[in-house]
Amino acid sequence: MTIKKERPDLKRAYFGEEFVWGVSSSAAQTEGGNEDGKGMSVWDHFATKKRKILNKHTPEIACDFYHRYPEDVSIIKSLGIPNFRYSLSWPRILPDGTGKINKKGLDYYHRLFDECRKNGIEPWITLYHWDLPHALQLKGGWKNRDILKWFEEYVSVCSHAFKDSIKNWMILNEPGVFTGAGYFLGVHAPGERGLKNFLPAVHHAVLCQAIGAKTVRREVKHAHVGTTFSCSHITPHSNSIKDHAAANRVDTILNRLFIEPCLGMGYPIKDIPILKKIEKYIHPGDDKLMKAEFDFIGIQCYTREVVQHAFFMPHIKARVVPANRRKVYHTAMDWEVYPEAIYQMLKKYSSYPGVKKIIITENGAAFNDKITHKKVDDHERIKFLSDYISQVYRAKADGYKADGYFVWALTDNFEWAEGYYPRFGLVYVDFETQKRIIKDSGYWYRNFLTR
Ligand code: IFM
């Protein structure tokens, strides 16, 4: 397949002054630095004790961001990227999940945010990007309703510590993924499976996204508070009634499960009756507790899923037909490259009353990047970003909410169960030497943002 290198007509100015441009990353995927009092996370445990990651990779060193953040912040600056979304590591701040605060952990984040500011970069915080303290998982983790008070304590420590330096806060990163992959399919940490683990984890995450928002607002005056959702455009595999119904069920689980309760709509049980079992975990008053006032929602859209009816699939009776099986152009994650997905998602989420602003807090692609003559020619990623950003523009021009865009990711990093194999970065990382090389896509993004 021939890939056109670049669309010359796309301009930052088309999006207006208010539109937020940035790049995203997360602590567990980049930081390493298991020192200075950091506790073990569920991902450290899943990787080093359970050895569950592809090629037995671990996040122990990752991009060594803990020590190398000044270099990475200077790269962000050199690329002219004005906003940096990064997560705080719960076990670095509260090594046992609750109780004793690790001052060295807080000091490190203060240094990081100071470094950003010194370089004219606005830091955005994600409070929870999947690295639950292992100590809390030993007590049941997201399945245990006590997580409501553990999480409130963690958020209150963080928002108190950073109330003067951080304006933009996101509560959870993709609750659909950490509950689905971590507590239903068992392919992510902590590796649990089945509805009996998944449903309480979902309900507690829904409550925590609201509790987190309230806690940040209590501590931080004028906070700009959001939370993020993973989402995919869903299409039926055929025109059959059964495939349409299956597509609707998958859409409900992937795209509606976490946003609707926080908007006061409750769980979408009507469209997926097995969800009724979640009622067992709902306490009186929870319907009010689940509601949250968000200034924005973050959506993280990479692809579309094509869905087929599957009688033997437990609970959902549907399956996703992989991109390689459909023989469509896809990334190293086997995610179909389908730029219109992001348009469809902006359209879908714009239609919810109560959604004030939508920021694309992640979008990007993993390709098989190679270094040639000290350069990384990743024109597939350039084409990907350019086409997806064009669809964001199309949505905005059609009157849908679209208020910002963050590329995932700043650097190649630890891609969870896939280890270091998929490379999502604008910056290449040689994981042996920790040398960074800005990829052509990094320079493309710089030109897009600065010309
Ligand atoms: O790397 C992840 C990130 O942590 C959450 N959103 C999707 C990215 C790519 O898989």
Which atom belonging to ligand 1 lies closest to the Cα atom of 409? Answer: 1
Neighbours of 374 (CB within 10 A): 7
**Dist CA 407 CA 378 (whole Å):** 15
Kindly state whether residue 270 falls inside one of the protein's structural domains.
yes
Give yes or no for a contact between 74 and 126, defined as CB atoms under 8 angstroms apart.
no
* 84 and 361 Cβ atoms separated by less than 8 Å: no
What's the confidence (pLDDT) of residue 275? 96
| Helices 65-78/103-118 angle, 10° precision | 20
Q: Which of 90, 96, 94 is nearest to 138 (CA)?
A: 96
- Whether residue 204 is contained in a domain is answered as yes
415 Cα to the center of ligand 1, angstroms = 7
SS3 for 123?
strand
Q: Where do the DSSP E strands lie in 121-199?
A: 122-128, 168-172
Q: What is the CATH number of the domain that holds 215?
A: 3.20.20.80
Mutate to test the pocket of ligand 1, among 342, 361, 410, 416 (most ligand atoms within 8 A of CB): 416
Can you tell me the mean pLDDT for 260-270? 98
Substitution site in 177, 230, 345, 420 for ligand 1 pocket (most atoms within 8 Å of beta carbon): 177
Q: Specify whether 115 is catalytic.
A: no
Query: How many whole angstroms separate alpha carbon 190 and alpha carbon 181?
Result: 9
402 inside domain: yes
Rounded distance between C-alpha atoms, residue 332 and residue 134, angstroms: 30
Residue 328 lies in a domain: no
Whether 103 is in a domain gets the answer yes
Which residue segment(s) compose the domain that 381 sits in?
Answer: 12-222+265-300+350-450
Rg of the chain taking only CA atoms, in angstroms: 21
Candidates 31, 152, 174, 415; catalytic one: 174
Report, as an integer, the average pLDDT of 191-208: 98
Tell me how crowded residue 9 is: count the other CB atoms within 10 A of its CB. Answer: 8
Q: What angle do CA 415, 173, 225 make, to 5 degrees?
A: 145
Domain-located, residue 293: yes
Beta 224-236 vs 427-430: how paired, if at all? unpaired
Please report the pLDDT score of residue 151 as a whole number: 99
At 1, the pLDDT band (50, 70, 90 cuts) reads: very low
- Judge if the beta carbon of residue 415 lies within 6 A of ligand 1: yes
Instruction: Give CA separation, 186 vs 168, 172, 190, 314, 332, in Å.
Output: 32, 20, 7, 15, 21
Share of the chain above pLDDT 90, in %: 96
Question: How confident is the model over 390-415, as pLDDT tens digits?
Answer: 999 999 999 999 999 999 999 999 99
Task: Report the domain count for the chain.
Answer: 1
Mean pLDDT of the chain: 96
Q: Is 408 in the pocket of ligand 1 (CB under 6 A)?
A: yes
Q: Using the predicted structure, report yes or no on whether residue 5 has a pLDDT greater than 50.
A: no
Residue 387 DSSP SS3: helix
364 CA closest ligand 1 atom index:
9
**Taking the C-alpha atoms of 87, 91, 92 and 95 in order, what is their torsion angle to the nearest 10 degrees?**
160
Stretch 374-382: mean pLDDT, rounded? 98
Q: pLDDT band at residue 8, thresholds of 50, 70 and 90? A: low
User: Whose CA is closest to 86, among 28, 41, 25?
Assistant: 25
Residue 333 in any domain: the answer is: no
- 74 in a structural domain: yes
| Model pLDDT for residues 155-179, shown as the tens digit of each residue | 999 999 999 999 999 999 999 999 9
Strand, helix or coil at 325? helix
Average pLDDT over residues 368-392: 97
